[in-house]
């Protein structure tokens, strides 16, 4: 039987504002452009998995105005039967994008913060030994999900984004694949210097496959004796929102398809390169075909 992927994660409505610079304390700034997109780190990663050709189930909680998020995932081929519809307003994000394509994100968790232990148990009951559990840090009960997923024999992949101090208390030693960016690596390791941060993470989590995405500097992979450094693609950066999510979805999909680590990392880097060259989160996640045809 083929192993399944369950992504238990956030679904957000993204309000995106193009700005000449990020708004400063006390400043009122007019944005030059505004658009609403489908987002949330969880939903973006499920979209990336599906567009990369994987079969994925998404679990999470939406509010009354979030039904279109569920419909969008469904139209991408994601199994949405584990998405719960609650009464708390849907999670949303206010995203400023500056002229260099960098973003600054403010999140209102809303429905994403209302996921309960009972709900995660009910969902995990339908998955088992050898299946994959993908998690980010944008819903409630993430620590319980890591523990329960591990107890049930699922392979846990964790992207601790957005990072906050409580992540250091999570049972990260139980995680099979940890995917972090520079800030997350520094916060988890308590080391500023990236080389020291990586070595510290290896010491802290020796059983965990470690992937560090470094934006323009590419990606570093470390697991026991395996080491890879893959350069980033050279592209015109329009909006970096969703680049990490795209990378994660394409990496996991490639691994599930049986590709080796190096090839999976290269495909994922190309996919996130394509993502940053377009505006938006889910709307800028490429298809598998676009990635195959892209020569970076």
**Catalytic residue positions, numbered:** 245
Does 76 participate in binding ligand RIB (rule CB under 6 A)? no
Instruction: Pick one of 9, 63, 109, 242: the residue that binds ligand RIB (CB under 6 A).
Output: 242
* Angle formed by the axes of helices 67-75 and 41-51, nearest 10°: 20
Site stretch for ligand RIB (CB under 6 A), options 9-17, 26-34, 224-232, 261-269: 9-17
C-beta of 41 vs 266, nearer to ligand RIB: 41
- Return the residue of 44, 159, 246, 283 that touches ligand RIB, per CB under 6 A: 44
CB distance 19 to 70 below 8 Å: no
Binding residue for ligand RIB (CB under 6 A) from 281, 283, 286, 288?
281
Nearer to ligand RIB, 72 or 148 (CB): 72
Helix 243-256 and helix 261-276, axial crossing angle in degrees, nearest 10: 150
Query: With binding defined as CB under 6 A, does residue 138 bind ligand RIB?
Result: yes
**Binding status of residue 41 toward ligand RIB by CB under 6 A:** yes
Cβ contacts of residue 185 below 8 Å, gap of 6+? Answer: 194, 197, 198, 201, 212
CA angle 218, 142, 217 (to 5 degrees): 5
Two tokens, residue 135: 């998690």
Closer Cβ to ligand RIB, 39 or 286, answer by number: 39
What is the end-to-end Cα distance of the chain in Å, rounded?
Answer: 36
State the minimum distance, in angstroms, from the CB of residue 139 to ligand RIB: 11
Residues 96-125 that bind ligand RIB (CB under 6 A): 105, 107
Q: Do residues 227 and 195 make contact, with C-beta atoms less than 8 angstroms apart?
A: no
Among the listed residues 93, 197, 230, 275, the single contact to ligand RIB using CB under 6 A: 93
Return the number of other C-beta atoms located less than 10 Å from residue 69's C-beta.
27
CB of 41 to ligand RIB, least distance (A): 4
Of 137, 159, 181, 241, the one binding ligand RIB by CB under 6 A: 241
Interface pick for ligand RIB out of 4, 5, 19, 39 (rule CB under 6 A): 39
Instruction: For residue 9, state whether it binds ligand RIB (rule: CB under 6 A).
Output: no
Candidate list 5, 14, 185, 209; residue touching ligand RIB; CB under 6 A:
14
Q: CB of 124: closest distance to ligand RIB in angstroms? A: 23
Nearer to ligand RIB among residue 219 and residue 261 (C-beta): 219
Question: Per CB under 6 A, does 90 bind ligand RIB?
Answer: no
- What is the closest distance, in whole angstroms, from the C-beta atom of residue 119 to ligand RIB in the complex? 20
Q: Which residues contact 25 (CB under 8 A, 6 or more apart)?
A: none
Binding site for ligand RIB (CB under 6 A): 10, 12, 14, 39-41, 44, 93, 105, 107, 138, 241-242, 244-245, 281
């Amino acid at each position: 039987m083929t192993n399944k992927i369950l992504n238990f994660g956030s679904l957000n409505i993204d309000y995106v504002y193009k700005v000449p610079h990020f708004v400063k304390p006390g400043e009122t700034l007019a944005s030059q452009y505004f658009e609403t997109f489908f987002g949330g780190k969880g939903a973006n990663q499920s979209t990336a998995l599906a567009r990369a050709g994987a079969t994925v189930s998404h679990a999470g909680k939406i509010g009354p105005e979030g039904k279109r998020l569920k419909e969008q995932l469904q139209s991408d081929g994601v199994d949405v039967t584990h998405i719960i519809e609650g009464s708390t307003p849907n999670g949303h994000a206010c995203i400023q994008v500056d002229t260099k394509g960098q973003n600054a994100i403010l999140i209102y968790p809303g429905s994403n913060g209302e996921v309960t232990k009972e709900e995660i148990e009910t969902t995990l009951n339908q998955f088992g030994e050898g299946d994959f559990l993908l998690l980010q840090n944008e819903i409630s009960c993430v620590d319980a999900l890591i523990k329960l997923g591990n107890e049930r024999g699922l392979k846990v992949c964790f992207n601790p984004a957005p990072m906050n101090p409580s992540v250091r208390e999570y049972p990260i030693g139980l995680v099979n694949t940890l995917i972090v960016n520079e800030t997350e690596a520094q916060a988890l390791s308590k080391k500023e210097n990236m080389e020291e941060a990586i070595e510290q993470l290896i010491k802290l989590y020796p059983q965990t496959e470690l992937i560090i995405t470094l934006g323009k500097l590419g990606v570093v992979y470390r697991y026991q004796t395996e080491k890879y450094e893959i350069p980033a693609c050279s592209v015109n950066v329009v909006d970096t929102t969703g680049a990490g999510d795209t990378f994660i979805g394409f990496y996991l999909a490639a691994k599930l398809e049986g590709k080796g680590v190096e090839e999976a990392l290269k495909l994922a880097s190309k996919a996130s390169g394509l993502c940053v060259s377009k505006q938006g989160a889910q709307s800028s996640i490429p298809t598998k075909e676009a990635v195959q045809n892209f020569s970076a």
